């Protein structure tokens, strides 16, 4: 569905009525367990393929990227319209890309919009919204730990190319992603928070090796990556060369939930319903330890909801993401 400039004038309740009718006509009711699958559950390639088909249906109907700019395939509406759609779609099957989807449409997509030129955005954002490009982060490194600015993956200029070498770890769902947003050091002569640059690279590029990490609980969602002289070009630079820390700050803002303003639509009042269901099934509703765990989960949900509202309010008050909300 092509967007028009008239979209920005759509009243939220008018939009809601249209969304309600479209959802009822085009989406299947959710018949699985209450609460659905948890974002972050490992996915299969078959599940991802089905989700891509459903994402394209949303895009064609005008309900993918509702708050993304119209010139890049979105609707150019607001987070309130996004929230209205989520409220109406509750109880229906939506595309579920797991952690890869959350990263693609929130932290990465929003960061690209904030830092990339129009040519780059035209090349990638519509494909993201159609479900044709799913992205992951090549971010943390084995030796850097929590010191993100201490990374050692390097990018060396060679004419109009860049050659990337190094390793990354804890990349959620990288084995299912099509592209990666990769942080590398491009200048070793300056303080560590400077001299960093972000690059876009295909996960199937020559020299990229992705390995899943099998955890003790059997989950293998996290991955490690090895970059062996991977070639990219100046067209793949995200933001400005040697100024990658500003992009990092933007991404951290959205990782704290600013990009998910439409996801949590109501203040959590019931006590963590999914955990209560588990406690009932195993006969531990009266167990003090189980009750304490449920109470802690409810407090976390409540705090996250209100933190998200405050972050959203700060974002709406400024055209530029405020690094303060990434703290």
Task: Give bridge partners of residue 238 from the DSSP assignment.
Answer: 198
Do β-strands 135-138 and 179-185 pair in parallel, antiparallel, or remain unpaired?
Answer: parallel
Would the pTM count as exceeding 0.75?
yes
**CB contact burial 107-142 (16+ within 10 A = b; e otherwise):** bbbbbbebbbeeebbebbbbebbbbebbbbbbbbbe
Residue 105 has a pLDDT of 94
Residue 252 has a pLDDT of 87
For 217, the 3-state DSSP assignment is: coil
Residue 317 has a pLDDT of 53
Residue 163 has a pLDDT of 98
For the chain, the distance separating the N- and C-terminal CA atoms, rounded to the nearest angstrom, is 38
Residue 41 has a pLDDT of 59
d(CA 16, CA 82): 10
For 116, the token pair is 């990339």
Q: Cβ distance 112 to 79 under 8 Å?
A: no
Residues recognised as catalytic = 255
d(CA 139, CA 251): 11
d(CA 153, CA 131): 29
Find how far residue 128's CA is from the centre of its chain: 11
Task: Give bridge partners of residue 157 from the DSSP assignment.
Answer: 162
Q: What angle do CA 231, 235, 237 make, to 5 degrees?
A: 80
d(CA 54, CA 94): 7
Residue 176 has a pLDDT of 94
DSSP 8-state code for residue 185:
E
d(CA 83, CA 78): 9
pLDDT in tens, the chain (327 residues): 444 444 557 899 999 999 999 999 999 998 876 555 444 456 788 999 999 999 999 999 999 999 999 999 999 999 899 999 999 999 999 999 988 998 999 999 999 999 999 999 999 999 999 999 999 999 899 887 667 788 999 999 999 899 999 999 999 999 999 999 999 999 999 988 899 999 999 999 999 999 999 888 778 889 999 999 999 999 999 999 999 999 999 998 888 765 454 444 456 666 777 788 888 888 888 888 888 888 888 888 777 666 666 655 555 455 455 554 444
Q: Cβ distance 142 to 211 under 8 Å?
A: no
For 215, the token pair is 């955890």
Residue 319 φ then ψ, to 5°: -75, -20
Residue 327 has a pLDDT of 44
Residue 262 has a pLDDT of 42
Domains of the chain in sequence order: 5-97+114-132 (1.10.540.10), 136-249 (2.40.110.10), 266-326 (no CATH)
Q: If residue 224 lies in a helix (H) or strand (E), which one and from where to where?
A: strand 222-233
Which residues, including other chains, have CB under 8 Å from residue 35's CB and lie 6 or more apart? 273, 274, 277
Residue 62 φ then ψ, to 5°: 90, 20
Q: What angle do CA 43, 44, 45 make, to 5 degrees?
A: 125
Q: Cβ distance 166 to 180 under 8 Å?
A: no
């Amino acid at each position: 569905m092509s967007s028009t400039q008239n979209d920005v004038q759509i009243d939220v309740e008018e939009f809601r009525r249209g969304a309600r009718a479209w959802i009822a006509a085009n989406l299947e009711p959710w018949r699985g367990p209450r609460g659905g699958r948890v974002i972050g559950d490992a996915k299969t390639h078959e599940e991802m393929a089905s989700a891509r088909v459903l994402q394209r249906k949303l895009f064609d109907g005008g309900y993918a990227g509702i708050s993304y700019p119209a010139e890049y395939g979105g609707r150019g509406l607001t987070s309130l319209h996004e929230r209205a759609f989520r409220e109406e779609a509750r109880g229906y099957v939506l595309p579920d890309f797991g952690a890869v989807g959350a990263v693609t449409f929130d932290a990465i997509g929003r960061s690209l919009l904030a830092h990339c030129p129009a040519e780059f955005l035209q090349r990638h954002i519509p494909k993201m919204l159609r479900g044709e490009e799913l992205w992951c982060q090549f971010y943390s490194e084995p030796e850097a730990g929590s010191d993100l600015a201490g990374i050692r993956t390097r990018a060396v200029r060679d004419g109009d190319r860049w050659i990337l070498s190094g390793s990354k770890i804890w990349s959620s769902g990288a084995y299912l992603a099509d592209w990666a947003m990769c942080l590398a050091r491009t200048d070793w002569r300056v303080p560590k928070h400077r001299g960093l640059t972000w690059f876009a690279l295909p996960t199937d590029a020559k020299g990229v090796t992705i390995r899943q990490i099998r955890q003790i609980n059997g989950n293998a969602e996290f991955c490690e990556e090895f970059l062996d002289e991977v070639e990219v070009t100046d067209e793949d630079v995200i933001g400005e060369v040697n100024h990658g820390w500003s992009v990092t700050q933007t991404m951290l803002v959205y990782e704290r939930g600013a990009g998910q303003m439409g996801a949590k639509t109501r203040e959590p009042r019931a006590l963590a319903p999914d955990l209560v269901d588990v406690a009932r099934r195993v006969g531990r509703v009266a167990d003090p330890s189980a009750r304490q765990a449920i109470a802690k989960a409810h407090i976390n949900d409540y705090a996250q909801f209100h933190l998200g509202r405050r972050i959203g309010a700060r974002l709406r008050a400024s055209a530029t993401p405020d690094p303060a909300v990434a703290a």
